[in-house]
Copies of this chain bind each other. A is one copy, B any other.
Amino acid sequence: MGEVQDLYEKIVELAKRRGFFWPSYEIYGGVAGFYDLGPLGARLHQKIIELWREYFIHRHQDLVVEIETPIIGPEIVYKASGHLEHFTDPIVECLKCGRKYRADHLIEEKLGIKTEGLSPQELTRIIREHDLRCPVCGGPLSEVKLFNLLFRTTIGPYSSNIGYLRPETAQGMFVSFKRVYEAMRHRLPIGIAQIGRVARNEISPRQGMMRLREFTIMEFEFFFDPENPREGLDEYLPRVADTKLRILTAEARERGEEKPEEYSVEEAINEGVVRVPWMAYWMAIARDFVMALGVPYENMFFEEKLPHERAHYAQQVFDQLVKVSRWGWVEVSGHAYRTDYDLSRHMKYSGHDLTVFRPYPQPRVVKVKKVIVDKAWVGRTYRSDAPRVFELLSRLSPEEVERMLRERGKVVVEGYEIPGDRVRVVEVEEKVSGRRFVPHVVEPSFGSERLLYVTLEYAYREREGRVVLSIPRRLAPIEVAVFPLVRDERLVEKARNVKRMLQDAGFYVYYDDDGSIGRRYARADEIGVPVAVTIDYQSLEDDTVTLRDRDTWRQVRVETARLVEAVRRFLEGASLEELGKPVGS
């Protein structure tokens, strides 16, 4: 209403009109937290996913493998993972109109009181103390309760078979860890990645594409030996040797600092800022990946979470934050040290052994204590009870037996006595061929729809009163535009041939012969087509065309026969001037 649109509104308007994204189910009034990706958005999304794959999987193909597991999981998985207990938000209900609100958000918005880490009881107390009421009808509010964010369903025809939609892909990697580990012939460290939809039943999501109830996660669990946490790193560390990370540590935050400090990856490791060396490595790759989407270094940093901000499974967490227009610093990735929490929980709940065994290079001889008992004496003394006595003795550790002998001069188990001269503890040498342990895990995790929005926001420029979407060339949904200069049949025919040639070469082509050439450039710039090919009258004479750079609006002329190669090189990063003769020179 006469107000100036903010950048978010401009992008949302453009996204709807040109087909990047829009709210789902619009004809039914929409459902909060669900968005569609249109033709351009879906292609941009695919390219962002492909770029992530390249950075984290393809370039690390000896370290990271990708799998696919289901979205729907049985209840036991989310009991084991802790999500049934911990994956909650505080909710409050109006006792008059029945509307429901996220309690912490309501308090922060209406009262301006910080609520991080507060319990439902504490939130209730704040509501009572400030007489906070329903913002719609003014009715009184209920006690604050915890609302579980898992989408619940039933698997098959038995109503007792509860299932949930995964809120992260991670549990798929943990539950199937052993199968992957076997198939990969016991490779360690190993990253197991997944890219797929997840669902979180937010109470009242209101940030458009930034907070969705259903979205796509790109993440991997990186399993390593906790006794050898640098294993394999030396081969990869040189790749990020010069990489600087801006980090705001939890300790600095507790001191009241708000500005991140700069560390090289090695400093972050050596100074113990990032506790797991591999985590620092993956943070460096995350930095480079987000920069490749168009976010400058200074608009990004890693914030260490405070203990009460961390998920239940994590011992250290860094959020990668990026500055966006409307919401300030927002999280685009999370880097969590999940320890052996998940595998250990699944061992406990499933009864399956999820440890790994690593042979020593050579079997080691170790000294171990053993309990030696005079079996003949026990047999004579306890007769038919003797097996039971052996069983009970076997459950005692050598240390316990030593203690009993030291303190009481005999061993007593469930009333059976063995005197000190019939039992002793000796030290023997044993050959041990390896070690069995539960791997620890660091997890880099990205939300791709949010990154898609961030990419659009950083690509958005206004120039001479119109929009140019400077999407990084390799991410552009439509790669090249083809225009006849005017709607002359000879130009149109040649333009169509050029279009087909480029399509056959594998490019996505935007063809347009409607309106003036200026309007057509504008329509192509607005959706971020990096380069436009124009067929003009000179094209009919010497079989050349012009190439125009979306970002500089400069033009060069190239031979049609060399066009495919020129476009390919341009998309790979060449400057226009390398590809042809400047127009008008």
Contacts and interface: CB of A to CB of B under 8 A. Distances in A.
A179 interface: yes
Contacts of A66: 39, 42-43
A67 B40 CA distance: 8
A470 interface: no
Contacts of A176: 22, 24, 26, 36, 38
A34 interface: yes
A63 to B, nearest CB: 12
A156 B39 contact: no
A384 B531 CA distance: 67
B214 A100 contact: no
A57 to B, nearest CB: 10
Contacts of A76: 28
Given A153-B153, A175-B27, A183 B72 contact: no
A427 to B, nearest CB: 37
Number of this chain's copies in the assembly equals: 2
Given A27-B175, A179-B38, A72 B213 contact: yes
Centre residue among A45, A100, A153, A184 by max chain B CB count within 10 A: A153
Nearest to A214: B70
B156 A34 contact: no
Contacts of A73: 24-25, 31
Contacts of A33: 156
Given A152-B153, A153-B151, A22 B179 contact: yes
A74 B214 CA distance: 13
A43 to B, nearest CB: 7
A486 interface: no
Contacts of A40: 183
A87 to B, nearest CB: 14
A197 interface: yes
A32 to B, nearest CB: 7
A58 B46 CA distance: 13
A115 interface: no
Centre residue among A24, A25, A27 by max chain B CB count within 10 A: A27
Nearest to A183: B19
Given A18-B183, A508-B61, A77 B39 contact: no
A386 interface: no
A67 B91 contact: no
Given A153-B152, A156-B202, A184 B70 contact: no
A71 interface: yes
A158 interface: yes
Main secondary structure of the interface of A (DSSP, over half): mixed
A45 B66 CA distance: 11
Nearest to A347: B27
A172 interface: yes
Contact of A38 (B151, B183, B506): B183
A42 B19 contact: no
B152 A39 contact: no
Given A71-B199, A72-B199, A157 B152 contact: no
Given A28-B175, A68-B41, A158 B100 contact: yes
A71 B179 contact: no
B179 A19 contact: yes
Interface in A12-59: 16-19, 22, 24-28, 31-43, 45, 58
B153 A157 contact: no
6 contacts: A22-B176, A22-B179, A27-B350, A31-B74, A33-B156, A165-B165
Those 8 A-B pairs whose CB atoms lie nearest each other, nearest first? A19-B183, A39-B65, A37-B68, A27-B350, A27-B352, A100-B157, A34-B70, A70-B214
Interface of A: 16-19, 22, 24-28, 31-43, 45, 58, 61-62, 65-74, 76-77, 91, 100, 147, 151-158, 163, 165, 172, 175-176, 178-180, 182-184, 196-197, 199, 201-204, 213-214, 346, 349-350, 352, 354, 503, 506, 508-509, 511
